[in-house]
Structure 1
Amino acid sequence: MSDLVVLGFDHTNDATLALEECRKLQKEYLLDLEDAVVVVRDAEGKVHLHQSINLEKAGASWGLFSGGFWGVLVGLLCLNPLAGFVAGSVVGAGAGALAGKLSDYGIDDNFIKSLSETIPPNTSALFILVRKAQPEKVLADLQKFKGHARVLQTSLSPESEAQLKNVLEKAAVPQPAA
């Protein structure tokens, strides 16, 4: 089962830096990401979503390949495989792009948009869906974001969420005695 973690950052580029760090951990097999989305809220308050998986592009690529294949086969029956390839490729790429645009993978887009409306202007957030992780090593690596990130929402256990908050949030400054 995957766990959702949503982190809020003080600056617009911090979520992208954190995602790059997560991808580095993924290459080291310490973190297995199912999906990731960077959300940036600009100075005017407009929300920008940066999906890690572009389903429209993937659908168009697959549609181009499969449409071209089927177009050549139909074109051979009509004794014009080149025209079949061109027509099949165009139709396949268009249908694949449309299917990709209408699909949703990983983190629900409506959830992302609704939670994104709560972050202040000139900040960012990172939504990650984690299949599995090596918590001790991941938490140690995320300490570089201490004081710059806060946990907005998770589906982690209360103990794991507390550990994550402890790693990321600023230590309380002791107040002088009166």
Structure 2
Amino acid sequence: MSTLIAIVYPTEAKAEEVRQRLFEMQKEYLIKVGDAVIATKTEGGKIKLNQLVNTTVAGAASGSFWGLLIGVLFLNPLLGVAVGAASGAIGGALTDVGINDAFMKDLAANLEPGNGALFVLIQEMTADKVLKEISAHGGVVLKTSLDETKEQVLRDALQKATAAS
């Protein structure tokens, strides 16, 4: 079962700093991140999602490879690459992995311009060590799928860090 946590930071740079720290902790086997997206709101009110994987580009690259392979088999590699890239890009654009984009945009609509909301889908974690690391960065909990007691522990830890700075 995955856990969703959304934390608002004063800037997109701070949210990115925390996301990079989560990836470092993943290398230390303290957490297994399924997805980590940063949402920001522009001055014009538009919501921007900074995702890890651009599924359209990944789909196009994959489609190009398979199209080339099929094209070589049928003696027309250039046509195979073009058709493969186009179909891969379309398939990638239609694929939504990780956290639902519409859900993130709805929650991010409440952000102040300039804030960064870090959405993290956690598959596994050593909670006490991860919490200690991310609480040092402060932030405000926007939404979680944690039970109420664990959510309160997270809120308290982040609040202490925010008050100390």
- The two structures have a TM-score, normalised by structure 2, of 0.93
**RMSD, aligned α-carbons:** 1.6
- 1:127-167 per-residue CA deviation (whole Å, 9 max, x = no partner) reads 11100001011011112213xx0100000122221121111
User: Which one is further off, 86-95 or 43-52?
Assistant: 43-52
**Matching residue of 1:86:** 78
Partner AA of 2:3 in structure 1: D
How many pairs were matched up? 163
Residues 111 and 172 of structure 1: is their aligned pair in 2 closer, same or farther, counting only changes over 3 Å? closer
The answer to whether the aligner puts 1:124 opposite 2:116 as a matched pair is: yes
- 1:44-86 per-residue CA deviation (whole Å, 9 max, x = no partner) reads 33321111121111111110111110111111xxxxxxxx111
Question: Residue 153 of structure 1: which of 140, 143, 161 is its match?
Answer: 143
Runs of 4+ deviating beyond 4 Å: none
Larger radius of gyration: 1
Unaligned 5+ segments in structure 2 are none
**Aligned-pair identity (%):** 36
Q: Distance in 2 between matches of 1:154 and 1:27?
A: 24
Unaligned 5+ segments in structure 1 are 76-83, 174-178
Q: Distance in 1 between matches of 2:27 and 2:85?
A: 31
Q: Distance in 1 between matches of 2:155 and 2:27?
A: 24
Secondary structure in structure 1 of the residue aligned to 2:111: coil
**Matching residue of 2:25:** 25
Q: CA deviation at 1:116?
A: 0.9
Q: Distance in 1 between matches of 2:26 and 2:132?
A: 15
Q: CA deviation at 1:172?
A: 9.7
